[in-house]
Copies of this chain bind each other. A is one copy, B any other.
Amino acid sequence: MNFKNHVTRLSQYKAALERMDNEGNEKTHAETISSFIGIPATQIRKDFSLFGIRGNKRGGYVVKDLLAELKGILGIDEKIPVVLIGYGHLGKALTRYPGFHKGSIRIIAAFDPAVGALSNQPTVPVFPPASIPTFLKKNGVKHAILAVPDDVAQEMFDKLYMHGIRGFINFSSIPLNVPADAYVNNVDLELELETVVFYTRESEKNEQKET
């Protein structure tokens, strides 16, 4: 059991619950969550059961309580401070990503060699890579987003690992060499697009069959 699927779903539940909360709903049900995100209600209850989340028979779940429990399980009771390595276009886009602003993650600083050359006012403080070690120590950061060019990705990873970072999102398109006690989530956009192509192809074929 590696919980990968579970965690993904819990995160989806959390997102749905946040929407419900914003819309002013006080209570919800497995069926309601299901209709939001398309995961079967029975699956939702199984997940809740596994993580010890309990609702009220007939009453369903109290939105705020459930949300708090989900956040607790996911480890995001408080906002998680994250550093961004690389402040190019991707980095800038990430600091503006609305999902982060409303959500549980906060990019507290970015690091980029081109500090001086930043044209517009940056959305987060940007420092030179040299100041990474002291910054990390001072702020107790545990997570980093790697948004650097491929050729420096490994080097930057190693540096961050050496200074205690263990959780990573990696946007570079080369695979990293990762010690066992670190966790790297690779966001591989080409792979994502390829699955889209595959499925679109498949449904085309089906349509042709039906005709």
Contacts and interface: CB of A to CB of B under 8 A. Distances in A.
Contacts of A23: none
A74 B200 contact: no
B189 A187 contact: yes
A194 B93 contact: no
A102 B36 CA distance: 38
Interface residues of A, number: 65
Contact of A93 (B7, B90, B100): B90
Given A92-B89, A97-B173, A99-B173, A192 B185 contact: yes
A184 to B, nearest CB: 8
B11 A195 contact: yes
Contacts of A14: 194
- How many copies of the shown chain assemble into the complex? 2
Contact of A181 (B15, B92, B194, B203): B203
A167 B196 contact: yes
Interface string A165-199: 01111001101000001011101111111111111
Given A80-B197, A183-B200, A200-B143, A192 B175 contact: no
A191 B8 contact: yes
A100 B189 contact: yes
A112 to B, nearest CB: 14
A172 to B, nearest CB: 8
Contacts of A36: 175
Contacts of A169: 189, 192-193, 196
Given A3-B202, A90-B90, 13 more contacts: A3-B198, A4-B195, A76-B194, A80-B197, A89-B90, A97-B173, A98-B149, A100-B190, A104-B194, A143-B200, A166-B203, A166-B204, A167-B200
